[in-house]
Structure 1
Amino acid sequence: MEYFKSSLKSVLGAPPPESQPSGADTVERLVDRLQSSSLLDDRRDACRALKALSRTYRVEVGAQGMDALRQVLEMDRTDCEIIGLALDTLCNITNPETFDEEVNKHGLKNKIGEQFTEIFIKQLDSVGQILAFLEEFDFRVRWSALKLLTHLLANRPRDIQEIILVSPMGVSKLMDLLSDSREVIRNDALLLLIQLTKGNANIQKIVAFENAFDRIFEVIRQEGGAEGGIVVEDCLLLMLNLLRGNASNQNFFKEGSFIQRLTPMFQLPPETDDSPLSGWSPQKVSNVHCMVKVIRALVAPSGPAQATAACQRAMRACGLLQALCDILMASGVPADVLTETISAVAEVIRGNASNQEFLAGVMAPSTPPRPAIVVLLMSMVNEKQPFLLRCSVLYCFQCFLYKNELGQSQLVQTLLPQGNEAPSLTTGQLLCGGLFSSDSLSNWFSAVALSYALIDNVTQKEQLLRVLLATNIGKPPVTLMQQCVMLLQQGNKTQCKLGLLILLCRWTAQCPTAVKAFLGIDSSVAYLTALLSSQENNDDLQETLLQSMCALLIGLCVYFNDDTVPNYTKEKLCHLIENRIGLERFQDAIGGITRHEVYSRTLKHPQPSAKNPADLLLDHEFCRLLKNLEGIIVKSVLDGSSSHRNNDPISTLTPSESALVAQYKELIREQDVQIQSLNQVNVTLSKEKCDLEAQIHELQATVNHLKDQNLVLRAAQTNFSDEKQMMSTENHIDTTVREDLDKYKVIVKDLQQRLDDSIMKLKEYEHERSNQSKSMLESALKEKMDELEKLQKDQEDLLELLTDQESKIVSYKQKLIALGEKVESDESSGELDTDDQPESSN
């Protein structure tokens, strides 16, 4: 502290003891000295003192000294020491964190750094100047500039992203820092790029094409791969930013064979027998988490189907899928790593028959060996396993059966009699065991998993009707559907009932045979109608969903009814709904599912998103089924119930139908607004098109005029038929030609300028309009450019002719002078004067 005081005294001079200056006064004197001193050493000392004060007196230094610091960056850029001090001072001023020194002073944490950032970037070239200092190799300058840029980005991310995006070579300068041999600069550059690439697809593309993936993999290699420290995690976070949701970068990653470079990172060393978890440090767990997220970004279900399929094939070919499966079957893997890896395997195989077949053939290293799918399902129906792990297994099973008719068939076959084959634990047995478990979550998981075998597969729905269960010794077996209905009626756990209803809705959808079987079970319809006809107002979400799904199941039995059950034909079911439930209540019950937030959340992504077991109520595939069938089911019930009424469309409208008509009217109004908006856009585009066409016509007229001028010049050239006539009219022709040539040059120059302007306007219009307009305008522009090039070529030919003509004129004059003829001098045409010629002899 004494050293600091002595430094201030040396810079400011020692004030009298009775008049110690305030902080603001000290800052003001330092800023004045920084601006007015002519000696670099004095300015450097003042800048050093300001840096020391910028933490305690941040507001004063920022308010009074920012312009002076900018001046230093501009005027003293060749001195690395003062530039480093100025940048460090700006770093303190714009720091997004609050210093301990100023907490005591201001009493509250504030956004001083953000406010000073806003002031700093108002001067347009400020950020560009900082980017320029990144090219300086001196550590004091480069690191300070990097820290300042990081603070600016943290305070005003969108503004800084846009500034860097339009700055020449701005991203390139940042990418070069990854090759800096000084680790602190390289690591800070990684953190800056992570923030810079968040939520900006254009910057992500530029960074990727600046060889980012190669550089990232090189840093990961230097740091030890998955076993490395936090720098590896930073590299993977940057890679994740570049890939997530960016189809262009994903394709570049695949085409650049970078997927293959991920495989060695998942080939983890074997664990020791005495301490199987010794190889899983917290940092390694974080690294593997990020690695798995990178894989999932490449094969996310929301991505383009073709790109996702290509990445899936590449992952299988390079051994990455095998490496992921090895982690699944390894012992000692932390539960959270295992959970993420299962989800990654799910998305690598989703909808890919070859990869699904590969997973079906993976065997767990157990005694006896069991298929990996069986081992996973054992974890799913085990209530002692972590909830998120069980959810990830369900997701993996869903992806395994997604568009996999063979897998669906094999699952159903395990529930049918197997002949004399040796007994073994199968997927079907596990799911049935979970279906009848005392754990409601296992019931839900098993019912939903079993429903995946029935998606878009009527054959397996009919096959599943053949499944018989021996529930009680000495009593005849019951069908699986009868057992499900019995559990639905006798169960007291709502989550279990919701799972059973999901299975029954999937089973009966698009399958009249299953509908017939369901309607043939005693009290099946009575239970549903009794539950729906209850007038209790229950605000419980689970009970509301239960009633809604019962209404959906009845609606499915109406729509897919083939009228083979006499007591429950389509018409009778509609009348039952109208009399016992009420059409309006029925319609409101079905629509009640889609009004809940849990429905919209579940519909967004195939993977279960619940964080707690009690929140797991709906399934993604069921929500898709409801979305597709809700409208036609309601219409079918309404049409069936009103078939016996008057056919007048207005007089027979029920309140529910009126509400439906109102919905359509609102939809039509929204479409009218959209049409009006599109019409306005069309008018604007048409006007711009007319303006561009007018410019093209004007250019065409100019080109035609130049063609006429060219013909005149050519005609004048052909008129020089003999030497005498050429000599007698040389002055007139020469002057006319030169005047026309000058006019021609002016016209060509004007035409070129107008063409350049038109090109600029056309380029802007290509950026804004459709590809069809773009091709038309480019074609027109190309024609004009071709004509211009032709005219320029004609001009060059004409100039050559004129040059040749002048040479001949000079030669003829010399001959005339030699013959004693008097020839007038014409300096403007470069002709010889007779006074300069020797007298001719007779």
Structure 2
Amino acid sequence: MAYFRSFFGGGAESEEENGAEMVEKFVERVETCTALEDRRDALRALRSMVKKYRLAVGTMGMNVFMEILDKERSNPELLTLTLETLVAVLSSDDENTDEDELGERLAEVMLKKPVFLPSILSILETFDFAARRCSIQLLTSLLRHRGPEVQNGVMNQPMGVSRLVDIIHDNREVVRNEAVLMLCELSRNNSQIQQLLAYDNAFVLLFGIVESEPLDSIVIEDCLFVILNLLRKNTMNQQLFRENGLVNRIAGVLHTFLYGIDEESPDTNEWPKQRTANLIFLLQIIRSLVSPDNVAANTHAAQKAMHQCKMLHELCRVLLSELGVSVEVLTETVIVVAEIIRGNYTNQEYFASTSLITQENTARPSLLVLLISMTAEKQPFKLRCAVFYCFLSYLHENEFGKTKLIDTLLPSSQTDGSLTTGGLVCQAISSSEPVQAWFGSVALLHCIIDVDHLREQLLRVQLTVTVGEMPVSLLVHVSNLLTSMGNRRVQMRAGYLMLLCAWLLNCPKAVSQFTANQENLHYLTTQIVDECGEGTESEQQVLKGLMAFLLLVCLQGTSEPNAKKSLEQLIERRISKDTITAAVEGVSRTEQFVRAAQKPQPLAKTPNELFIDYHFIKLFKANEGW
């Protein structure tokens, strides 16, 4: 009794004391009574008291519960009552296991009992419905409270993982579904468990359930969640998945989800929310196989397989058809397509060859469709970011695609007034909408990263900014846009500065043309020391670092001795080298830099968070040590 009172502090209420005494009495009956009916009734009483006296039942009854699990396996009724009581003991009223300290402590006590896990795994092999279901529920609850300990305990038991996977074969749907929920928890954050599950044929078994359920079944979501756990960042499982021909199988599942089981009479009504959720999980599984975070060989092999089994074709149809999927599904599909084509020339060219049939019955190439969506202010921001990422993925390591885009801007290209990819990018750069201008600047930046000869090609581009006036070069236009903003519009300035830095790097001709205009140098040298600009302190630090980096690029690209000396003196007189160095070094300490450096896909949740580009950061880091 003293032990029980210590949990509540001094002066526990009499009701609690009386409750504890009743629990103690029933526990004693379970221990000492010889008649089965008396023990059963005492267990039922304890089960009914759990909600009110959870701690007392859990602590006082623990030893007798363990004894029943260990020695009464031939008695399903006692086993089930005991298991139901233990499940209730671990369940919090508010269902928030993250903050259920009592549940954590009671789970820890259970797991420290040597007979506990072996007993649970043995009970799982019985065919009694109630005992099997309750033991699965208990294991699921334990995994939520003490996941790593349970995972290690299961692995230490002979054939522990295999015995759990075998439950999926149970023909009783309730038991099977409980087993899937348990695997959701078992498969979290443990690569060894994940590999054991995969080698025990979990992929095939789970896909079997997915294919047998209605498209709007929540059981499908649970199955797909387990598959996603097994594949995400697990190199061995990704390889096994591919080698077992499961990319073809997932392509078939995708087709069914998009067009229904009966293609001849497709469902044209709005999808139930659960069907949408299931499809998004399926797309995330596809994405896990081609993620840039994977080993490159795995990603490339998966990209190839997805092209061969027509999955890329299927996904392009979603983007370029009147299928009418939700914005959430469309956004996720765009991201999946982006990662299937990213860095894979065959897939990039296939994507570029697809087109949308417009209402005028004309074919509009997919790249134009992307750029039109990217530059449309009325589109949801999340979708615009996905489309932007897809366009960058088309350009990634695709020199032919970059060259084709820049060719559409050159004077020699045929202009019949129709839309071109290059024209839309330049329109975006000139836009008064900050997000659109940033997208356009970074898209053009990606055309010239790692392709030096295209930097000079871009110098040939001429734009007619004002009707009736002479065209100006694109470099002059971008420079004028930057200097015209003074210390305002931080996001647009960040885009223009990144573009200029990438353009002038390793391109002496571009440096010469940029520095020939003294207004450009005056702008950079005055804005670096300006303390009154728009934006947060962190944004200002990024901008100053980009301007300092651009000045260093100009210095490095100026080969004529007198011109170089003159530029050095100008910088030293107006700023000082120490200020330049401090500004460049300060960029990597900003929140914008840290956020953008995480993934090639922009992680911005709001338009203002778009500030630095992932690939520009790589270029910046490679050259900041001048």
TM-score above 0.5, yes or no: yes
Q: Does residue 1:599 correspond to 2:593, yes or no?
A: yes
Residues 117 and 155 in structure 1, CA contact (< 8 A), matched pair in contact too: yes
Q: Does residue 1:41 correspond to 2:32, yes or no?
A: no
Distance 1:346 1:537 in 2: 36
Mean Cα deviation higher: 469-478 or 589-598: 469-478
Distance 1:57 1:587 in 2: 66
Residues 96 and 111 in structure 1, CA contact (< 8 A), matched pair in contact too: no
Distance 1:127 1:573 in 2: 74
Give the Å deviation of 1:419.
Answer: 5.3
Aligned to 1:87: 83
Question: Paired residue for 2:305, among 314, 325, 328?
Answer: 314
Cα deviation, 1:383-406, whole Å, max 9, x if unaligned, reads 111111111111111110111011
Question: Paired residue for 2:492, among 492, 496, 499?
Answer: 496
Question: Paired residue for 1:430, among 410, 424, 429?
Answer: 424
Question: Paired residue for 2:244, among 256, 268, 271?
Answer: 256
Distance 1:42 1:419 in 2: 93
Distance 2:105 2:351 in 1: 55
Indicate how the Cα distance of structure 1 residues 474 and 25 shifts in structure 2: closer, same or farther if over 3 A, else same: closer
Q: Does residue 1:126 correspond to 2:116, yes or no?
A: yes
Question: Paired residue for 2:294, among 303, 324, 336?
Answer: 303
Q: Give the partner amino acid of 2:193.
A: I
Aligned to 1:67: 63
Distance 1:576 1:378 in 2: 43
Q: Give the partner amino acid of 2:127.
A: F
Q: Give the partner amino acid of 1:468.
A: Q
Question: Paired residue for 1:238, among 201, 219, 226?
Answer: 226
Aligned to 1:816: none
Q: Does residue 1:343 correspond to 2:335, yes or no?
A: yes
Indicate how the Cα distance of structure 1 residues 276 and 110 shifts in structure 2: closer, same or farther if over 3 A, else same: closer
Matches within 5 A, 1:169-568: 169-224=159-214, 227-267=215-255, 268-269=258-259, 278-331=269-322, 332-366=324-358, 367=360, 368-418=362-412, 422-491=416-485, 492-534=488-530, 540-563=537-560
Cα deviation, 1:677-733, whole Å, max 9, x if unaligned, reads xxxxxxxxxxxxxxxxxxxxxxxxxxxxxxxxxxxxxxxxxxxxxxxxxxxxxxxxx
Distance 1:406 1:358 in 2: 13
Give the Å deviation of 1:277.
Answer: 6.8
Indicate how the Cα distance of structure 1 residues 70 and 422 shifts in structure 2: closer, same or farther if over 3 A, else same: same
| Cα RMSD for the two superposed structures | 2.2
Give the Å deviation of 1:241.
Answer: 0.2
SS at 1:156 equivalent: helix
Aligned to 1:823: none
Residues 104 and 146 in structure 2, CA contact (< 8 A), matched pair in contact too: yes
Matches within 5 A, 1:600-679: 600-632=594-626
Q: Which runs of 5+ in 2 are unaligned?
A: 1-14
Distance 2:107 2:502 in 1: 57
SS at 1:237 equivalent: helix
Give the Å deviation of 1:518.
Answer: 1.4
Aligned to 1:800: none
Distance 1:473 1:90 in 2: 80
Indicate how the Cα distance of structure 1 residues 362 and 554 shifts in structure 2: closer, same or farther if over 3 A, else same: same
Q: Give the partner amino acid of 2:466.
A: N
Distance 1:453 1:110 in 2: 53
Distance 2:506 2:176 in 1: 59
Residues 69 and 116 in structure 2, CA contact (< 8 A), matched pair in contact too: no
Aligned-pair identity in percent equals: 38
SS at 1:370 equivalent: strand
Indicate how the Cα distance of structure 1 residues 36 and 276 shifts in structure 2: closer, same or farther if over 3 A, else same: closer
Distance 1:287 1:218 in 2: 15
SS at 1:610 equivalent: coil
Q: Give the partner amino acid of 2:331.
A: T
Give the Å deviation of 1:186.
Answer: 1.2
Give the Å deviation of 1:599.
Answer: 0.6
SS at 2:318 equivalent: helix
Distance 2:319 2:433 in 1: 25
| Structure index of larger Rg | 1
Residues 301 and 347 in structure 1, CA contact (< 8 A), matched pair in contact too: yes
Give the Å deviation of 1:535.
Answer: 5.7
Give the Å deviation of 1:171.
Answer: 0.9
Distance 1:626 1:96 in 2: 51
Give the Å deviation of 1:611.
Answer: 0.5
Residues 596 and 613 in structure 2, CA contact (< 8 A), matched pair in contact too: yes
Distance 1:199 1:256 in 2: 23
Residues 55 and 99 in structure 1, CA contact (< 8 A), matched pair in contact too: no
Distance 2:531 2:90 in 1: 63
SS at 1:22 equivalent: helix
Distance 1:326 1:176 in 2: 38
Q: Give the partner amino acid of 1:35.
A: E
SS at 1:124 equivalent: coil
Distance 1:435 1:286 in 2: 36
Matches within 5 A, 1:111-190: 111-190=101-180
Give the Å deviation of 1:170.
Answer: 1.2
Residues 329 and 364 in structure 1, CA contact (< 8 A), matched pair in contact too: yes
Residues 198 and 230 in structure 2, CA contact (< 8 A), matched pair in contact too: yes
SS at 1:631 equivalent: coil
Distance 1:58 1:99 in 2: 14
Distance 1:513 1:99 in 2: 66
Aligned to 1:577: 571
Residues 603 and 620 in structure 1, CA contact (< 8 A), matched pair in contact too: yes
Give the Å deviation of 1:438.
Answer: 1.7
Give the Å deviation of 1:613.
Answer: 0.3
Q: Give the partner amino acid of 1:554.
A: L
SS at 1:364 equivalent: strand
Q: Give the partner amino acid of 2:185.
A: Q
Give the Å deviation of 1:575.
Answer: 2.3
Question: Paired residue for 1:23, among 19, 22, 25?
Answer: 19
Matches within 5 A, 1:750-829: none
Structure number with greater CO (CA < 8 Å, separation at least 6) is 2
Cα deviation, 1:273-315, whole Å, max 9, x if unaligned, reads xx99724221121111111111111111121111110000000
Residues 277 and 333 in structure 1, CA contact (< 8 A), matched pair in contact too: no
Distance 2:268 2:494 in 1: 39
Residues 347 and 399 in structure 1, CA contact (< 8 A), matched pair in contact too: yes
Distance 2:165 2:100 in 1: 33
Q: Give the partner amino acid of 1:570.
A: K
Q: Give the partner amino acid of 1:629.
A: N
Residues 96 and 154 in structure 1, CA contact (< 8 A), matched pair in contact too: no
Distance 1:617 1:182 in 2: 54
Mean Cα deviation higher: 596-605 or 312-321: 596-605
Q: Give the partner amino acid of 2:344.
A: N
Q: Give the partner amino acid of 2:223.
A: C
Residues 142 and 150 in structure 2, CA contact (< 8 A), matched pair in contact too: yes
Mean Cα deviation higher: 543-552 or 338-347: 543-552
In the alignment of these two chains, the number of paired residues is 599
